[in-house]
Amino acid sequence: MSKKKFQRAYWISMLFLLLPFIFPLFEVANRPIPLILGLPFSLFWVCLWTFITFFVILIFYFIDPERRKGR
Measured CA angle at 51 (ends 64, 59), to 5 deg: 15
Separation of CA 22 from chain center: 13
Burial 32-44 (b: 16+ CB within 10 A, else e): eeeeeeeeebeeb
Q: Which of residues 1-60 bind other proteins (CB under 8 A)?
A: 3, 7, 10, 14, 18, 21-24, 26-27, 30-33, 35, 38-40, 42-43, 46-47, 50-51, 53-54, 57-58, 60
> What minimum distance in Å lies between the beta carbon of 5 and other proteins?
13
Q: How far apart are CA 55 and CA 36, in angstroms?
A: 21
Residues found near other proteins in the complex (CB under 8 A) = 3, 7, 10, 14, 18, 21-24, 26-27, 30-33, 35, 38-40, 42-43, 46-47, 50-51, 53-54, 57-58, 60-61, 64, 66, 71
